[in-house]
Structure 1
Amino acid sequence: MSSAFLKNETADAPVVIPARAPLPPGTTNYVTPRGLALLRSELNELEIEHAHLQATEATDENERSRQLALLNGRIANLNQRISSAKVVDSHPQDEVRFGATVVLKTKTGPSAGNERRFTIVGVDEADATQGLIAFTAPIARAMQGKRIGDTVTLRTVQGEDVMEITAVQYEGV
């Protein structure tokens, strides 16, 4: 039987630290001010959890050691991400750049007539269900440098959509 199905892990089994959202090699870790605040808040929560785990008495010392190792790894990864963060908070008002909220209207293609709203954010802040897309995403790269009235072509599984940029806004503006 595979050890993946066994609950009783050995003390020397490696601790697997979950990876953060990937950044392509050589890519600057751009973040919005909100994104940096979220990273710092996450770090604070992990440090509180770590301190609590250290302060409590363990019923299973091996499990406690594994949990501490996992938290240490997550904290180290997060510290690295925070230290590499470059906050972007100044923007050209008429052009799509990092931090922009963009409204697109599909002109042609399978979803013609649909309107979409995206905000271009850092990889750690991205959440497509909330309309927050990473600056490394294909649609974000296709919109970079565009202005209101410009079109963007995006290939999807349903076909090719041509979308017009109808609005560009920046938070606080």
Structure 2
Amino acid sequence: MSKAFLRESDVEPEPTVVRPVLLAPGAKRYLTEAGAERLHEELNRLRTVERPALAGAAADLDAKRELRKLDERARELQQILATAEIISSPAPDRSIVRFGAKVTVKEEDGTTSTYRIVGIDETEFYTGGISFQSPLAQALLGASVGDRIQFQSPAGPRQLEIQLIE
């Protein structure tokens, strides 16, 4: 039977989407200053722009679902921000890769890539933000310009040379 012919009270709520836990129990959640600022901005936008816009259409079932998703994301952001340890930018000494650093590496085939080592809640594939827990970040942390690092990628072992630390 189509949901169009059911009363709202007869429709079962959609199951809550639970994101996988990426941190081990008791592990610290780290954020860069920029990442914390972006999450604060997202939370503020959800509260002041998106929620009020949806609240006006709360009689609509689709709007209710969207409002529920929005509220879940807001709670998730509050939890992240409440439990995160914000790490300030790396010291001016750019000779060693640290949390928050932007690192340019050269592949064995000569291509270069740039990565920024960030917390798990601010990883961004398209901008090169990689989690400090990733195999690549673990191999980069503590290395210096000119060092060759090896790590196990999903495609197999890789070797990279550090070109620049920003």
Relative to the length of structure 1, the TM-score reads 0.76
Aligned 8 A contact 1:32 1:99 in 2: yes
Q: CA deviation at 1:12?
A: 3.0
In structure 2, the partner of 1:147 is 144
Distance across 2 between alignment mates of 1:71 and 1:160: 40
Which residue number corresponds to residue 134 of structure 1? Answer: 131
Deviations 1:46-89 (A, max 9, x none): 113223323x15443x5444433332222111100111121111
User: Kindly tell me: are residues 71 and 159 of structure 1, through their superposed partners in 2, closer, same or farther at Cα, counting changes over 3 Å?
Assistant: closer
CA distance in 2, matches of 1:35, 1:27: 18
CA separation of 1:69/1:168 partners in 2, compared to 1, >3 Å: closer, same or farther? same
Aligned-partner residue type, residue 165 of structure 1: I
- Residues 1:157 and 1:77: Cα distance change in structure 2 (over 3 Å): closer
Structure 2 equivalent of residue 52 of structure 1: 53
Structure 1 position 33 matched with structure 2 position 33: yes
CA distance in 2, matches of 1:163, 1:124: 25
Give the superposition deviation at 1:136.
1.6
- CA distance in 1 between counterparts of 2:155 and 2:32 reads 32
CA contact (8 A) 1:23 1:29 kept: no
More helix by share: 2
Q: Give the conservation status (yes or no) of the 8 Å contact 1:15–1:66.
A: no
TM-aligned CA distance change 1:18 to 1:146, over 3 Å: same
Q: Within the alignment, does 1:161 sit opposite 2:158 as a pair?
A: yes
**Does the 8 Å CA contact 1:102/1:168 hold for their aligned counterparts?**
yes
**Partner amino acid for 1:40?**
H
Residue 70 (structure 1) aligns with: 69
Identical-residue share of aligned pairs (%): 31
Higher relative contact order (CA 8 A, sep 6+): 1
Question: Please, which runs of 5 or more residues in structure 2 have no aligned partner?
Answer: none
Q: How far apart are residue 158 of structure 1 and its match?
A: 4.4
